[in-house]
Structure 1
Amino acid sequence: MPRLVLIRHAKSSWDDPRAEDHARVLNDRGREAAPRIGRWLAERGFVPDEVLCSDAVRTRETWQLIAGEFEVAPEPKLLGGLYLAGRQKMLEVLRQATGETVAMLGHNPGIGDFAGWMAAEAPAHPKFGSYPSAATAVLEFEEDWAEVRPGTGRVLDFVVPKDLAG
């Protein structure tokens, strides 16, 4: 059954007021949190075989740090269309996926909205609604990606960095 791993980029830096949003990098907290998410995914067997990633610097950096925790990690497909994308655009992109376990890295409010829209039922976790930095949900679907519909994903797990020991 196809699995979708929805990851919001880790905490980004606002230190450079001249940097455009697309070029923002992770801050120290984000660089520490992303590998924890990678270890969590690896421990649970949720390692993706396809990665659909916004082409923003902070999402690419988040993926690199997560991927560093896997024995084998796919190269991400960097997609400008996922930069600040809404849920409809994310669904269009997902319907083109070919992997069995697909990770999508994006930005809020889109990624959190998409997670809630795709889930048949939200998890009990209090942070699911706000989808903070590096929040990660894993959903499972019965239909192929080309046929996937909102409200049909069974949430297998959801985590935020604060849930994980350093």
Structure 2
Amino acid sequence: MKTLILVRHAKSSWEYPVDDKDRTLKLRGIKDAHLVSNYIADKIETPEVIYSSIANRALHTCAIFTRTLKYPFDKVIIKEDMYDFGGSGLVETVKSCDDAVKTLMVFGHNHAITAVANTYGSQFFDNVPTSGTVVIQFDINSWNEIDEGKTILKVFPKELK
């Protein structure tokens, strides 16, 4: 059994003229990330491995979640392939995860997060919103075998306000 926790980065700012990878989180995004991470803290298995996109907004979201989950941020694996908007880099990252890992958490971007949630989960989402978290369970032994899984939890910030 494998569990994949998908997290879309929190709401980011377009206020400053910076490279896309350097965009920061808005205050609303910071608050939403705290809201969702606090909500899921006792509802999920603590991930054994966490991957994050290299983008500032994903890393900041990841830092908020790891603090809440008491997961050491210095153990987060930052992956260029997670800076992915279509989903193929995200899927390849998941499939390459060590099979000893039972629970994997990833911090990424849309459309990739929504596409992976819809392709591999049992619940359809028009859009996974910023700070949205979707948990999918797979009855497999190897991450390379991910196929049709079961969506066991979805948490969107709007539902918690």
Distance in 2, Cα, partners of 1:35 & 1:59: 14
Number of residue-to-residue matches in the alignment? 157
Decide which of 97, 103, 106 is 1:104's aligned counterpart.
106
Distance in 2, Cα, partners of 1:23 & 1:148: 32
RMSD: 1.5
Decide which of 124, 143, 146 is 2:144's aligned counterpart.
146
Query: 2:91 — aligned with what?
Result: 91
Query: 1:49 — aligned with what?
Result: 48
Paired residues for 1:25-64 under 5 Å: 25-64=24-63
Unaligned runs of 5+ in 1: none
Distance in 2, Cα, partners of 1:109 & 1:72: 26
Contact 1:36 1:66 (8 Å CA) reproduced: no
What one-letter code is carried by the residue in structure 1 that aligns with 2:134?
A: A
What one-letter code is carried by the residue in structure 2 that aligns with 1:93?
A: T
* Aligned-residue offset at 1:73: 4.2
Unaligned runs of 5+ in 2: none
* Aligned-residue offset at 1:104: 1.1
* Aligned-residue offset at 1:42: 1.1
Query: 2:131 — aligned with what?
Result: 134
Contact 1:86 1:114 (8 Å CA) reproduced: no
Distance in 1, Cα, partners of 2:71 & 2:65: 11
Compared with structure 1, are the counterparts of its residues 88 and 94 closer, same or farther at alpha carbon in structure 2 (3 Å cutoff)? same
Contact 1:140 1:153 (8 Å CA) reproduced: yes
Higher helix fraction: Structure 1 or Structure 2? 2
Distance in 1, Cα, partners of 2:136 & 2:112: 16
The TM-score, its normalising length taken from structure 1, stands at: 0.88
